[in-house]
């Protein structure tokens, strides 16, 4: 437990400036957009800015992990100065990055809720007071979706970086090109898999309907709400991401030489 706490504290100490900077940037963007919304009396400016900022945070954990691992690879501290298993080292990065991501998502979600309430008051006959419960539920599901997307993106980044480090041992300078080709080929293969009947059968069972804020559809015609998801899809992605995570750790620990 002490070694784990030490890894988490080390990661937090090394990344605190980056995390605070991103949080400050999110706050700044929302304040600036709100200022423009007030100036031009157009609440949608604030709403769309807050909404897309929230969606952009789906990249947070992946970028955080990429930056942190790149620093480890350059300094070779990942293996030389940490006698801990790679699963613990990367797990500490995930925990710190995920907590920071959640905090930033909560802040961004608060701005999005406020902007949505302003837009409802300005563009519809609905009262924000009457729809606050629906908006809060919708924001919760949206942030949950963004967080899950962020975790998925981070695991895929980890897999790509571990494969690249492995290829780099044998291919040298052309390892980047080979990795890029493999990523593109994997994306094409994934597109074909998603269109297959087998995939649809695997992920299509157990439909769940959740509380989506349908009131937002009245703000602007471009806003559409889909309040359904399947248990099969959740199980499929959780299992796949778990396999990718441990495979990446195994590659870094067993197959990559310092």
Between helix 2-39 and helix 60-75 the angle, nearest 10°, is: 130
Collapsed DSSP state (helix, strand, coil) of residue 223: coil
Dump pLDDT digits (tens) for 63-104. Answer: 998 888 888 777 665 554 566 778 888 888 899 999 999 999
Q: HSE on the CB side for 160, CA within 13 Å?
A: 23
Tell me if residue 81 falls in helix, strand or coil: coil
Q: What is the pLDDT of residue 96?
A: 92
Residue 10 above 60 pLDDT?
yes
* Distance, CA of 163 to CA of 88 (rounded, Å): 19
**pLDDT number for residue 212:** 56
- Per mean pLDDT, which range of 14-18, 24-28, 166-170, 224-228 is the poorest? 224-228
pLDDT grade for 257, boundaries at 50, 70 and 90:
low
**With contact defined as beta carbons under 8 Å apart, do 205 and 230 qualify?**
yes
Confidence of residue 28 (pLDDT cuts 50, 70, 90): very high
pLDDT of the residue at 12: 87
176-207, pLDDT tens digit by residue? 888 889 889 988 888 888 888 888 888 777 77
- Tens-digit pLDDT profile for residues 225-252: 556 777 888 888 888 889 998 888 888 8
- The pair phi, psi for residue 228, each rounded to 5°, is -135, 150
Comparison of pLDDT for 208 and 35, the residue scoring more: 35
Q: Which of 8-17, 31-40, 170-179, 199-208 has the lowest mean pLDDT?
A: 199-208
More confident residue, 207 or 22: 22
pLDDT digits (tens, 9 = 90+) for 107-129: 998 888 888 877 777 666 666 56
Is the dihedral angle over the CA atoms 166, 170, 172, 176 positive or is it negative? negative
Query: Rounded to an integer, what distance in angstroms lies between the CA atom of residue 32 and that of residue 47?
Result: 12
Total number of domains in the chain? 1
Highest mean pLDDT among 38-47, 61-70, 207-216, 217-226: 61-70
The predicted pLDDT at position 174 comes to: 86
pLDDT the model gives residue 208: 73
Are 215 and 120 in contact by the 8 Å Cβ rule? The answer is yes
pLDDT at position 129 is 61
Q: Residue 121 and residue 203: Cα distance in Å, rounded? A: 39
Which range has highest mean pLDDT (52-56, 219-223, 251-255)?
52-56
CA distances from 67 to 18, 154, 178, 197, 243 (A): 10, 11, 21, 38, 22
Q: Which two tokens stand for residue 148?
A: 């899950």
* Domain range for 24: 2-255
Burial letters 4-34, b for 16+ CB under 10 A, else e? eeebbebbbeebeeebeebeeebeebbeebb
């Amino acid at each position: 437990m002490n070694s784990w706490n030490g890894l988490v504290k080390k990661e937090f100490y090394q990344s605190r400036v980056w995390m605070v900077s991103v949080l400050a940037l999110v706050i700044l963007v929302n304040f600036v957009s709100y200022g423009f919304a007030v100036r031009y009396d157009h609440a949608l400016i604030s709403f769309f800015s807050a909404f897309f900022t929230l969606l952009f945070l789906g990249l947070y954990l992946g970028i955080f992990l990429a930056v942190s691992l790149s620093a480890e690879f350059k300094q070779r501290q990942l293996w030389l100065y940490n006698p801990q298993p790679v699963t613990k080292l990367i797990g500490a990065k995930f925990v710190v990055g995920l907590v920071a991501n959640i905090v930033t998502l909560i802040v961004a979600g608060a701005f999005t809720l406020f902007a949505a309430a302003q837009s409802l008051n300005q563009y519809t006959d609905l009262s924000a007071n009457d729809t606050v419960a629906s908006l809060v539920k919708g924001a919760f599901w949206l942030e949950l979706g963004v967080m899950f997307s962020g975790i998925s993106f981070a695991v895929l980044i980890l897999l790509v970086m571990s494969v690249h480090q492995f290829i780099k041992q044998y291919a040298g300078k052309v390892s980047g090109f080979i990795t890029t080709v493999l990523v593109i080929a994997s994306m094409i293969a994934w597109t074909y898999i998603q269109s297959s009947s087998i995939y649809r059968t695997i992920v299509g069972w157990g439909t769940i309907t959740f509380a989506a804020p349908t009131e937002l559809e009245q703000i602007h015609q471009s806003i559409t709400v889909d309040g359904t998801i399947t248990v099969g899809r959740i199980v499929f992605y959780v299992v796949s991401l778990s396999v990718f995570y441990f495979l990446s750790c195994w590659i870094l620990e067993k197959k990559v030489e310092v």
